[in-house]
Structure 1
């Protein structure tokens, strides 16, 4: 199989015996051609455990979020660190995403090769290695527009020093980050932010393109608390933007305002839609986990979004890890073939959500798991699932799908994932590049 390369990124990743979940005895297969093999998950065509994305839910989520931002009058730049998948990046762009967000230069490279034209690095860049890398990427992709964050005079000095030592006239597009006391990065006061904005306006090394913040750390999955806490941040950003505008400190013809994690993203819309007197504003939402959603953490936050927005339903969980029951060593305990190396466990244990009896195939073979089935612990390669010994017993060889919380820390455990229809037919695949 001939591979297609573009500046070091494999654009048609080849699945073979080196890829967890791909059968060792099968001929290698390009990701783009997996759906042509006629395989089905319930034929046990793949090796367990295997990570899958349910195509109907994936398609629904892409359309739902794009419809949401269009109704709100803002743009979407999903956070690419969630999946770091060129195939999913293309799906997001094809659905209408304005651009993508990344956490570092390595991730940006994957996005640019996948066709991203606008990107926000939602982080501070300051080392020579990162600045050299970004400079190279911008020369390789001259049509791309990339913004990164600045939150201190020290960082600004490092940017100036890099240009002087490299004898470069590169002028970086940047966003000023306003932070929250006790949380992550960002200026802590308006006074600090205004001093920094003035210094950026006077510097030949940067163009101040707008203001950024991150509200996700404020969420407590309590609407009354979350509305108040995020509203305080929104008002603070709005006031800062008005002050910067009044002092004519912007470096571009359009002001970029950006925020939005995956938990309380609806609450930052007023900030993204604000206007200034001097020039047009582009609000950009950065939610990333919507593309696959999850089965617990974001699911509980989305119930509150639905209530605030008057929606009957929103996103659907698309990501599952399918396992086999390898042992039922005692009443009430089953051991599954997946563990810490295969799925997220940083927010909660994985949840049995579907199962299929050994040998049963087709859509009717998949059924909801009994309520008593719970994963109580994980080993590196095993899940310890307890169940009511007086109820339905899982049997050795049965297939159990585990739902997860926080998709970000499941994607980075897989080099690829199969895309399946609801009846288990394998219709495609995606690759990851962490």
Structure 2
């Protein structure tokens, strides 16, 4: 694992004529985004917003009395992982063993794989990582007797007596993984307790699929899930099925994360409970999808200050072929579009640099379509026209599907100065 990723001409957005540079040294170049120091399109993270978000979420979980294990699949950036851990994160969350490898190398000592492991390759890989990082503790999810049997079969065939730390997943009908009924979940908990190959560390669920961006609906739906988890947890405790001295209760996407706090605060009679929130997108936030959910969180929590969008993709206006249409130099290969189209948020005229040149985009500037390498931006032909060579910052929704399009991102200050960079390892 590279501890200091080297940027060079093979990295999209890095200038072809520049000498290679380690991520940790990019800030020493004295470059400024507004001087066209980088090649367009280029993805950037606004450092003041990033720093704010790290502190805000850590303060939120501390006030609520729970722990934070941010989902690393959002960014897959070891530099950001280290920032999250240094800010006070209890651990990290990942979706698979490959992602876990990056997180352990970045210094995570506690990790949740919020997914089921079944294949020999994954189990071999996790076994190897635990041997390489003996100080680390990793939990993964179990949701069926068939999976439990697969774990036992692996141990028999490998002659490996490892006992895995697992969380039982309670799911939601019609959604993704997880036990569908209380009876199924309790039977699985009993089987886990009787098995020599696993120990039951706690219960996990994912509430994000219930969100509709309607507080009345979301509160009712998530509260019902919390009640279901509580009923299961209390029965597991009554039957003394836990396999560790502390019970982990984990949930938390990035949309209605405040509503699962009551689940993370549940208590049992037999032992202490550690609630673990897994929200990941908070670190950069976004400009639409999670932003609209956050407005409801702010109302429910009585907040006046919350998360700020930190991620932008900068493109240049390369053509204005007709009135009302500008073509930008970024497209599907560069930007997320699964939640909504990218949103022009700031712009700077061609040839101008310095923070005073940054302006808010007119409301009529809207991306209406994406090609592989182009954004089709409409504008009011009776208003301000974008000009060829102008630079436009595109805000995004759903940061996960923008991060995976970039091997690196520049970190910039509010004046456009490039103060650092991060790498990604998808």
Say whether the fold is shared (TM-score over 0.5): yes
Is 1:312 paired with 2:312?
Answer: no
2:301 and 2:129 mapped to 1: Cα distance? 40
From 308, 319, 325, give the equivalent of 1:327.
319
Over aligned residues, Cα RMSD in angstroms?
0.3
Map 1:123-134; keep pairs closer than 5 Å. 123-134=115-126
| Structure 2 residue aligned with 1:394 | 386
Q: 2:242 — aligned with what? A: 250
The CA distance in 2 between the partners of 1:244 and 1:365, in whole Å, is 61
- Measured after TM superposition, the shift of residue 313 of structure 1 is 2.2
Cα separation, 1, equivalents of 2:372 and 2:363: 25
The alpha-carbon deviation at position 319 of structure 1 amounts to: 0.1
Structure 2 distance, partners of 1:158, 1:201, is: 16
1:363 deviates by 1.1
5 Å-filtered alignment, 1:197-346, equals: 197-346=189-338
User: Does the residue aligned with 1:322 lie in a helix, a strand or coil?
Assistant: strand
Q: Distance in 1 between matches of 2:270 and 2:6?
A: 51
1:107 offset after TM fit, Å? 0.1
Give the match for residue 374 of structure 1.
366
Following the alignment from structure 1 to structure 2, what is the Cα–Cα distance between the partners of residues 422 and 380?
Answer: 29
Structure 1 Cα separation of the partners of residues 383 and 114 of structure 2: 49
Deviations 1:98-133 (A, max 9, x none): 000000000000000000000000000010000000
For 1:39, the equivalent position in structure 2 comes to 31
Structure 2 alignment gaps of length 5 or more = none
2:380 is equivalent to residue 362 of structure 1: no
Whole-angstrom CA distance in 2 between matches of 1:272 and 1:202: 26
What is the number of equivalent residue pairs in this alignment? 426
Distance apart, 1:25 and its partner CA:
0.2
Match of 1:160? Answer: 152
Residue matched to 1:6: none
Whole-Å separation in 2 of the counterparts to 1:307 and 1:363: 33
- Shift of the alpha carbon at 1:167? 0.6
Runs of 4+ in 1 over 3 A off after TM superposition: none
For residues 173 and 326 of structure 2, the distance between their equivalents in structure 1, rounded to whole angstroms, comes to: 46
Indicate which of 138, 153, 160 corresponds to 2:130. 138
Match of 1:183 among 175, 182, 192: 175
Aligned counterparts of 2:395 and 2:412: Cα–Cα separation in 1? 15
What is the TM-score with the length of structure 1 in the denominator?
0.98
Partner of 1:100: 92
In the TM superposition, what is the alpha-carbon distance from 1:359 to its structure 2 partner? 1.1
Q: Per the alignment, in what secondary structure is the counterpart of residue 10 of structure 1?
A: coil
Q: Give the distance between the partners of 1:261 and 1:344, measured in 2 at CA.
A: 18
- TM norm structure 2: 1.00
Distance 2:335 2:421 in 1: 18
Following the alignment from structure 2 to structure 1, what is the Cα–Cα distance between the partners of residues 177 and 322? 50
Q: 2:331 aligned with 1:351, yes or no?
A: no
Candidates 43, 55, 74, aligned match of 1:82: 74
Aligned to 2:9: 17
